[in-house]
Amino acid sequence: MIQVIAFYLFAALTIAAGAFTILSRNPVNSVLWLIVAFFNAAGLMVLCGAEFIAMLLVIVYVGAVAVLFLFVVMMLDIDFATLRAGFIRNFPLGMLLALVILGELVIGVGAYRTGALELGTADGTAAPAPGASNIEAIGALLYSKYLFLFEAAGIVLLVAMVGAIVLTHRQRGGVRGQDVARQIARRPDEATVNVKPEVGKGVQL
């Protein structure tokens, strides 16, 4: 009973939030609705027993990706008229994307209908028992059967990160940065001089 209530609550809120993401006029509101959608999707994940994925969804998407979205959208000085003007021009592209996603959904459901995935370990033994916790099951698969794919994904991300840093890094001259090691290494006797000037004479520094 409670499961059913929770499912319909999360599902309805996900769809509603998704709709509001598209429909709201203010981009900041759109991002916030997107966050609500992520949250309810995480709730649905918990309901189907994938608590690890749910937590990752919240940590990665809500905690990092959406913050960046929000950051960008808040700082933009948005002119709504120009935003609307591009709608007709970009409409075919949007429709194409929507069709691709629809096709993926159909293929996904079709593949699911043909039978469950055979998730086994590298040495040919059976998949981890359903009783094992999410993290153990995913880890056992990821670091055995899909080890090379996993590491390849890691390398792709590393290259992307290095690329992003190289593209945005710039050397600026004339910046007086703080050299903490030099500051700490400084001692009173090398930083100060004790002078006793004669009366009426200045000090040469």
Where along the sequence are the contacts to another protein (CB under 8 A)? 1-2, 28-29, 32, 35, 51-52, 55-56, 58-59, 62-64, 67, 70-71, 74-75, 133-135, 178, 180
At its nearest, how many Å lie between another protein and the CB of residue 76?
Answer: 12
* Burial class for 22, CB neighbours closer than 10 Å (0-12, 13-18, 19+): exposed
Q: Which is nearer to another protein, 76 or 111 (CB)?
A: 76
At its nearest, how many Å lie between another protein and the CB of residue 116?
Answer: 23
Q: Which is nearer to another protein, 63 or 163 (CB)?
A: 63
> Rounded distance, CA 199 to CA 18, Å?
82
At its nearest, how many Å lie between another protein and the CB of residue 45?
Answer: 11
Q: Which is nearer to another protein, 174 or 197 (CB)?
A: 174
Q: How many residues does this entry show for the chain?
A: 205
* Burial class for 42, CB neighbours closer than 10 Å (0-12, 13-18, 19+): buried
Q: Which is nearer to another protein, 177 or 200 (CB)?
A: 177
Q: For the beta carbon of residue 84, count every other beta carbon within 10 angstroms.
A: 10
Q: Which is nearer to another protein, 63 or 154 (CB)?
A: 63
Q: Quick check: 6 and 43 in contact, CB under 8 A?
A: yes
At its nearest, how many Å lie between another protein and the CB of residue 32?
Answer: 7
At its nearest, how many Å lie between another protein and the CB of residue 2?
Answer: 5
The DSSP annotation for 124-173 comes to SPPPPPTTS-HHHHHHHHHTTTTHHHHHHHHHHHHHHHHHHHHHH----T
